[in-house]
């Protein structure tokens, strides 16, 4: 009996020594080899040690999350791990990892995107806050051939392959790490659009983007959305200045009769129906207006120089309003 217990104790001691030796080796002495893979660990504010350990395990940086969690606890660094984006390699020691993620990650920057901004305007705003993103990288991330266009939300919405991601980036105030890539930014904005407007279609986003650029007041948006929906149902041209302005860059007051004949599928004076895609990235008020329009008898509207919206039932009334308010 005593001999059996002694043997068991010896086995326990040997296993413990081997485990401890392996733990010490992984904690302090292991180092990335020639075939080590680079990976980026992103720690969000508020992430726990367990979440960080799982991310390291999932990324292949460490073999197991539990020994790393124990190392962080025993080394007294539980409260020192910082949010940020960190370049790591597979096979790093626990000590090297902790040193990397306690020495300061990338700073956060705040970026505010107003409702109705276009992809170009969003890109300019983002690049001003994150200069490491080039114009070419931004264009690649939001263009028609962007790999982000395969996002299930975008695919389900029915975006045509020929158009870019205009309309799919939700305008809001965001916080990004200062070393974020263009795809990081775009992916987060698409994700926010999905959260705010799950199940929305490409056509709905397109109409919301037009409403966003035509009127500003949320109640007017609902009235105008109903006007556009009625015109679409009747096969009438939308005759929205904003869609043509999207292509020409001209304001409504600058456009001539000749401009209104400009041959582009975004000319909703010349071509009935919706343009191929959104002309801006709409906010929640415009999206809600399209999803929940206010039923009315109007078929026409105009905006006065003072910003008031004037409605009309017939074309004759609309012409009278134009003569009264725009001349």
pLDDT band (50, 70, 90) for residue 18: very low
What average pLDDT does this structure show over 111-115? Answer: 97
Looking up tokens 């539980």 gives 78
What average pLDDT does this structure show over 162-175? Answer: 97
pTM for this entry: 0.73
* 112 pLDDT more than 70: yes
- Supply the pLDDT for residue 206: 98
| Tens-place pLDDT, residues 230-282 | 999 999 999 999 999 999 887 776 777 887 888 999 999 999 999 999 999 99
- Supply the pLDDT for residue 19: 43
Q: Where in the chain is the domain with CATH 3.30.1490.480?
A: 26-102
Contacts of 301 (CB under 8 A, 6+ apart): 215, 223, 224, 227, 309, 310, 311, 312, 318
pLDDT band (50, 70, 90) for residue 129: very high
* 93 pLDDT more than 70: yes
Q: How many CB atoms lie within 10 A of CB 43?
A: 18
pLDDT band (50, 70, 90) for residue 15: very low
| Average of per-residue pLDDT values in the chain | 88
pLDDT band (50, 70, 90) for residue 16: very low
Q: How many CB atoms lie within 10 A of CB 72?
A: 23
Strand-strand pairing, 84-89 and 38-43: antiparallel
pLDDT band (50, 70, 90) for residue 91: confident
Of 97-111, 202-216, 279-293, the least confident? 97-111
Measured CA to CA, the distance from residue 238 to residue 231 in angstroms comes to 6
* 22 pLDDT more than 60: no
Contacts of 278 (CB under 8 A, 6+ apart): 166, 167, 168, 205, 206, 208, 209, 210
Contacts of 165 (CB under 8 A, 6+ apart): 119, 142, 143, 146, 148, 149, 154, 159, 186, 190
Q: Which CATH class is domain 26-102?
A: alpha beta
| Tens-place pLDDT, residues 311-320 | 999 999 999 9
């Amino acid at each position: 009996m005593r001999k059996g217990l002694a043997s068991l104790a010896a086995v326990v001691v040997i296993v413990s020594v081997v485990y401890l030796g392996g733990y010490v080796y992984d904690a302090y002495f292991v180092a990335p080899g020639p075939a080590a893979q680079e990976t980026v660990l992103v720690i969000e504010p508020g992430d726990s040690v367990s979440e960080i350990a799982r991310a390291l395990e999932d990324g292949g940086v460490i073999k197991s999350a539990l020994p790393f969690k124990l190392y962080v606890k025993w080394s007294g660094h539980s409260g020192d791990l910082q949010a940020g984006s960190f370049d790591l390699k597979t096979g790093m020691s626990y000590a090297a990892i902790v040193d990397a993620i306690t020495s300061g990650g990338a700073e956060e920057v705040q970026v505010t995107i107003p409702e109705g901004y276009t992809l170009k305007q969003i890109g300019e705003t983002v690049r001003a806050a994150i200069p490491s993103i080039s114009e070419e990288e931004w264009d690649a991330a939001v263009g028609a051939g962007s790999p982000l266009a395969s996002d299930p939300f975008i695919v389900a919405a029915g975006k045509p392959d020929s158009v870019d991601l205009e309309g799919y980036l939700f305008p809001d105030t965001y916080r990004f790490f200062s070393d974020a890539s263009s795809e990081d930014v775009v992916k987060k904005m698409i994700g926010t659009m999905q959260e705010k407007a799950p199940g929305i279609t490409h056509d709905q986003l397109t109409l919301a983007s037009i409403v966003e650029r035509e009127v500003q007041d949320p109640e007017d948006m609902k009235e105008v959305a109903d006007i556009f929906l009625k015109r679409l149902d009747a096969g009438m041209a939308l005759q929205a200045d904003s869609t043509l302005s999207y292509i020409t860059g001209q304001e409504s007051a600058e456009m001539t009769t000749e401009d209104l004949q400009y041959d582009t599928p975004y000319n909703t004076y010349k071509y009935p129906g919706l343009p191929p895609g959104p002309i801006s990235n709409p906010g929640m008020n415009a999206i809600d207006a399209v999803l929940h329009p206010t039923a009315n008898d109007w078929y026409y509207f105009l905006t006065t120089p003072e910003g008031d919206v004037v409605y009309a039932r017939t074309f004759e009334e609309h012409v009278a309003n134009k003569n009264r308010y725009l001349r």
